[in-house]
Amino acid sequence: MIRLTSSKPRATRADAARNREQLLEVATRVLASPDAETSMRAIAREASVGIATLYRHFPTRESLVEAVYRDQVIRLTSGARDLLADVAPAVAMRRWMDLFGNWIATKNGMLDTLPTLIESGAVGHAQTRDGLLNAISTILDAGRTAGDLRPDVTAEEVAACLIGIFTVAHQSGHAVTTDRLLDILLDGLRPQKQT
């Protein structure tokens, strides 16, 4: 007996994958915006999917936040290599700083859920830290080789500077912009010219 197979399940899988990606994209944007409504219903509505579709992919708010968090960390860690494939190391470092800033903004929208995920072990702080430091080291190493980033700076120092910048720049009452501070940091990462 010959059974005919339909391509419909593949279309459904592709559609489901597209819905999941759309939900992650919208959730990331919503969590990064201080003014957006972050309810599951609002995220589903903005993603143009039904609430049942959202819950099929992410049964709880925690599962959605965990997926966004993991997606952002992957983007940061793979982003270093991707940027270096396209631009010079100093430019890659500056663009990576922007990716880091987006992650920090998104993370701020997760503050109500993130501690539970860390406590349960769903999100590993040490793993995230190691991945981010490796991404920074990848760019620093390429910059040292190319001669456009200082050889005496560590990934830990760059990470500390970035955390400081994003902490200060987002406090109210400061007349500094994040972009300006990141540009100043990048200038400090460039080799000093001999006179």
Residue 9 has a pLDDT of 47
For the chain, domains (ranges, CATH) are 7-59 (1.10.10), 61-195 (1.10.357.10)
Q: What is the mean pLDDT of the chain?
A: 84
CA angle 50, 111, 170 (to 5 degrees): 110
In whole angstroms, what is the distance from residue 90 CA to residue 96 CA?
10
Minimum mean pLDDT range among 29-38, 79-88, 93-102, 152-161: 29-38
In whole angstroms, what is the distance from residue 148 CA to residue 169 CA?
26
Give the whole-number percent of the chain exceeding pLDDT 70: 86
Rg (CA), the chain: 20
138-193 tens-digit pLDDT = 999 999 999 999 999 999 999 999 988 888 776 655 556 889 899 999 999 999 87
In whole angstroms, what is the distance from residue 112 CA to residue 86 CA?
37
Integer CA distances (angstroms), 142 to 43, 92, 139, 151, 172, in order:
39, 10, 5, 10, 36
Residue pair 61/153 in contact (Cβ under 8 Å)? The answer is: no
Residue 35 has a pLDDT of 73
